[in-house]
Amino acid sequence: MKTKPPRLADVAKAADVSTATASMALNDTGGTRIGAGTRERVRAAAADLGYRPNRVASGLRTRRTHTLGFVGDDVATTPFSGQMIRGAHDAAREAGFMLLIVDTSGEAAETGEAVAALQERQIEGILLATMYHQVVKAPKAIATTPCVLLNARTPDGSASSVVPDERGGTLGLLAELTGAGHTRIGHITTTEDVEARAIRLATWRERVEANGLHSDDLLVEIDQATTRPAHAAALRLLDRPDRPTAVFCFNDRVAMGVYRAAAQLGLRIPEALSVVSYDDQELIAPELQPALISAALPHYEMGRWSVLELLRRLDNPEAATVQHLMPCPVVKRESVAPPR
């Protein structure tokens, strides 16, 4: 049979002090009231017994559980989201916190239930993460528990949030192309209604039209941002004499389709066609030949930031909310060359 773990009372008895003294000695609380010798005796006794505090008990007393809730919509499913969790996890751990993770379908009712279940467990704050960058309405939970939105923001700034700087990333990618001398830059995007699409598209359009070009001639839309439809779209965009000299792809899977189409049309990348893309997926961008220039989604950093912001709000609940844009670094590889 397993023997019960030691309690604070056992440590106190071993060190021949009261539980109050033992508690203060171990937690460095109570100012100078604990003598150095006493403190050492208690410490030694604790180490000796292999004492580990029961955080449920101390949590009940102090109302601090050192635990944060992470609720994500399908978040554990996507390769990206692992990075958000990991960023949040690492920052939490550095501050002595742990993460209670709940995955939902994203429906409001289910999210509400998840938040309530976390609150029952007395988590100190909540991270609300979404799989794709989006705008959501303010969660009801903010009334009762500090919240930070991850990969989402509210329309009104009523909660702190962090999202990728899609505009900045797009400008960085386009700078790679214009820096090499391209002006006729095509874009293949999706018709899905997501923030990422809207911002990347608008930023590209603005740039292309600044060059005096008609953006509609250079744009192809597909209903799913995956390889197969992208391949067909790329054939349409590239199989004509006035084709663009460079293509900005909505994401890396689209870029895969473009590579395939280019091979089929006898267009060498980057000599005959430059390609840039978004997402920097580990299994795609560095593996394509030539390796693909792509703007990375800073999921890890966003995860970290969200926890730091949440902890800041725990310390200072009245602090103003902040909406953060996390830079999307452009990873430079070999898919761009000057136009011919």
Site string for its own copies, 214-233 (x = CB under 8 A): ------------xxx-----
Q: Which of 30, 179, 181, 338 binds DNA (CB under 7 A)?
A: 30
The entry of DNA, its own copies, none that residue 90 binds, CB within 5 to 8 Å by partner kind: its own copies
Single out the residue of 49, 51, 68 nearest to residue 304, CA to CA: 68
Mask for 140-179, x = binds its own copies (CB under 8 A) = ---xx-----------------------------------
Residue 225 has, within 13 A of its CA and on its CB side, a CA count of 19
What single letter denotes the amino acid at residue 31? G
Please select the residue that binds its own copies; options are 21, 23, 81, 151, rule is CB under 8 A. Answer: 81
Nearer to DNA, 291 or 314 (CB): 314
Binder among 15, 22, 34, 101 for its own copies (CB under 8 A):
101
140's contact among DNA, its own copies, none, with CB below 5 to 8 A by partner kind, is none
Nearest alpha carbon to residue 258 among 288, 291, 235: 235
How many C-beta neighbours within 10 Å does residue 60 have? 11
Footprint (CB under 8 A) of its own copies, residues 289-328: 289
**Which CB atom, from 6 or from 112, has the smaller least distance to DNA?**
6
Q: What is the C-alpha separation between 71 and 100, in angstroms, rounded?
A: 8
- Please tell me the distance from the alpha carbon of residue 84 to that of residue 76, in angstroms, as a whole number: 9
Q: Which of residues 112-141 bind its own copies (CB under 8 A)?
A: 116-122
**Closer of 218 and 307 to its own copies (Cβ):** 307
Phi, psi at residue 148, to the nearest 5°? -130, 135
90 makes contact with its own copies (CB under 8 A): yes
19 binds its own copies (CB under 8 A): no
Q: Which of 15, 159, 160, 148 is nearest to 92 (CA)?
A: 148
Residues 207 and 174: beta-carbon distance below 8 Å: yes
Minimum distance from residue 216 beta carbon to its own copies (Å): 29
Q: Is 119 in the site for DNA (CB under 7 A)?
A: no
User: What is the C-alpha R_g of the chain?
Assistant: 27
- Phi and psi at residue 79, in whole multiples of 5°? -60, -35
48 interacts with DNA by CB under 7 A: no
Candidates 44, 47, 48, 57; binder of DNA (CB under 7 A) is 57
Q: How far apart are CA 217 and CA 5, in angstroms?
A: 72
Helices then strands, counting H and E runs in the chain, come out as 11, 12
**In the bound complex, what is the minimum distance in angstroms from residue 19's beta carbon to DNA?**
4
- Assess 65 for contact with its own copies (CB under 8 A): yes
- Count Cβ atoms within 10 A of the Cβ of residue 33 and give its class: 0-12 exposed, 13-18 middle, 19 or more buried: exposed
C-alpha 318/C-alpha 305 separation (Å) is 19
Q: Is 143 exposed, middle or buried (0-12, 13-18, 19+ CB in 10 A)?
A: exposed
CA end-to-end span of the chain, whole Å?
Answer: 78
The distance of closest approach from Cβ of residue 28 to its own copies in the complex, given in angstroms and rounded to an integer, is 17
Residue ranges binding DNA (CB under 7 A):
4, 7-9, 16-21, 23-24, 26-27, 29-30, 32-35, 37-38, 53-54, 57-58, 60-62
Residue ranges binding its own copies (CB under 8 A):
2, 5, 52-57, 59-60, 65, 67, 76-79, 81-83, 85-86, 89-90, 93, 98-103, 116-122, 143-144, 226-228, 253, 256, 260, 281, 283-284, 287, 289
